Structure 1
Amino acid sequence: MSQEQQLRIDLAAAFRLIHELDMHESVANHLSAAVSADGKSFLMNRRWMHFANVTASNLQLLNSEDESIMQTDEAPDASAWAIHGNVHKAFPQARVILHVHSTYATALSTLKDPRILPLDNNTARFFNRIAYDTNFGGIATSDEEGKRIMDTFEGKKALMMGNHGVSVVGETVAEAFESLYYLEKACKTMVLAYSTGQPLNVLPDDLAEETAASWDEFKGAGDAHFEQLKAMLEKKDPSFRD
């Protein structure tokens, strides 16, 4: 099996799993994965394709430097083109980009202070490892807005998009999926903790940093998690491989 075909299968699986976890939104939101070394050639879901219907073969192969696609019937969603095209082109090391409006992450993004505070293992995972964009400019359909969002990543692997949602990047689909999985759990913890109305017991910075760094020791867990979820998906509905 070619590398591109395996990438197509893994990315299609991520779409289905995000749907299973109810982290999708109508026929919006987008996931992409770079095919070329320079990141300019990438796979992404087609315009208005529901996550539950994405398969390995119907993922669209795009080139961020070929804007002529936007004047055709095959044009991808304009906001996805603006965000994913710019990030892949500028950061070729960001092999996979997942952008969703998941419930708890989006709720946290609407707060005046959208920070994920280190309260436990999961929230501490993102200490000093997530960027924050608090300059929401509406639906990102322009190249300028896409570049502005790209710049706010600041070399981090996750971005809290104020009044919008979240994006994560990773070297593999499994790595990016695991980051998104824990990011939504961390945001859920934040929202539920805030809902109690009681003072938060925030970890000191040194302990938060130590906890965040310790997650590197469990890096292989993300691959194991994704492979087992993918195996469960295969038993339930293997059509994502088509």
Structure 2
Amino acid sequence: MSGLNSSIGIAGDDFAQLRIDLAAAFRLCVEFGWSESVGNHFSAAVSADGKRFLMNPKWRHFGSIRASDLLLLDADDPTVMNDPDAPDASAWTIHGTLHRECPSVRVLLHCHPPYATALSTLKDPSMKPIDNNTARFFGALGIDLGFGGIADEAEEGTRLAQSLGKNKTLIMGNHGVTCTGDTVAEAFEDLYFFEKAAKTLILAYSTGQALNILSDEVAQKTAEGWRAYKGMAFAHFDYLKSKLNRTDASYRE
């Protein structure tokens, strides 16, 4: 492992691997059908205070993202948006503010998967615990219902940070979902399971029958039971990256 880079607070080899993992997450988002034109954004903090972070460039399709493409940004730098390589304004509003105000959040994956987004448009977008996957998010899901259009003010980022609170996942009402984690693998695993859970819930709603919602006690027990399976995230992400390596390893460049 190479020496620590004092300007970013992360060892050189770890920094390079973080770039690769984040680039992989973009490519995998396309594979799962969760990308949207050239919009949406993923980011990862590289400094202890969270203020320096990696994020995708403006209007670059997820399917083309390479590790070297990722921008290294400083949430405290007021000149970022004046740079010729400035990020998307709404991304800067949300990710810059969240990384600045939530230093414990290391990785932020925001996108509009179909079922998660459909759930976010309901009057009550909460994730009802009706099976293992939906119960995974019991007690750890923030909900923001203050959608006011495309984000363009820092106040929206602050509101989202408050809505996220100590939760790992945030339903953004009338918008989509943001999943967080200590690592890219863990954040991506929550994104994967959130979309699966949202699909199950939307399909259950579509029957028109009453939901058989788990009791709080059982839902909490199920959510806690997932902790023993934390290692799944890394095994799953490694497998998904191995598939990318066979089909198009350019994300690593």
- TM-score norm. by structure 2 comes to 0.94
Q: Distance in 2 between matches of 1:45 and 1:191?
A: 30
The answer for the alignment partner of 2:130 in structure 1 is 119
Cα RMSD over matched residues?
Answer: 0.8
CA shift for structure 1 position 72: 2.4
The answer for the alignment partner of 2:44 in structure 1 is 33
Higher relative contact order (CA closer than 8 Å, sequence separation 6+): 1
The answer for the alignment partner of 1:233 in structure 2 is 244
Report SS of the residue matched to 1:57: helix
The answer for the alignment partner of 1:55 in structure 2 is 66
Q: Distance in 1 between matches of 2:105 and 2:159?
A: 16
Q: Distance in 2 between matches of 1:63 and 1:104?
A: 33
Match of 2:54 among 29, 35, 43: 43
The answer for the alignment partner of 1:174 in structure 2 is 185
Q: Distance in 2 between matches of 1:109 and 1:34?
A: 26
Instruction: Kindly tell me the number of residue pairs found equivalent between the two proteins.
Output: 242
Contact 1:116 1:123 in 2 (8 A): yes
Spell out structure 1 runs of 4+ moving beyond 4 A: none
Contact 1:82 1:142 in 2 (8 A): yes
The answer for the alignment partner of 2:87 in structure 1 is 76
Q: Find out whether 1:188 has 2:225 as its counterpart.
A: no
Q: Find out whether 1:106 has 2:107 as its counterpart.
A: no
The residue identity in structure 1 corresponding to 2:119 is L
The answer for the alignment partner of 2:4 in structure 1 is none
Larger mean CA deviation between 208-217 and 128-137 belongs to 128-137
The residue identity in structure 2 corresponding to 1:132 is I
Structure 2 residues not aligned, in runs of 5+? 2-12
Q: Find out whether 1:14 has 2:25 as its counterpart.
A: yes
Q: Find out whether 1:142 has 2:149 as its counterpart.
A: no
Q: Find out whether 1:221 has 2:232 as its counterpart.
A: yes
Report SS of the residue matched to 2:66: coil
Report SS of the residue matched to 2:79: helix
The answer for the alignment partner of 1:129 in structure 2 is 140
The answer for the alignment partner of 2:174 in structure 1 is 163
Contact 1:101 1:164 in 2 (8 A): yes
Report SS of the residue matched to 2:230: helix
Report SS of the residue matched to 1:67: coil
CA shift for structure 1 position 92: 1.4
CA shift for structure 1 position 67: 2.0
Report SS of the residue matched to 2:166: coil
The residue identity in structure 1 corresponding to 2:14 is Q
CA shift for structure 1 position 73: 1.6
CA shift for structure 1 position 74: 1.1
Contact 1:82 1:147 in 2 (8 A): no
Report SS of the residue matched to 1:6: helix
Larger mean CA deviation between 110-119 and 87-96 belongs to 87-96
Q: Distance in 2 between matches of 1:165 and 1:236?
A: 29
CA shift digits 1:13-62 (9 cap, x unpaired)? 00000110001111010000011111111000000010001000011110
Report SS of the residue matched to 2:123: coil
CA shift for structure 1 position 188: 0.4
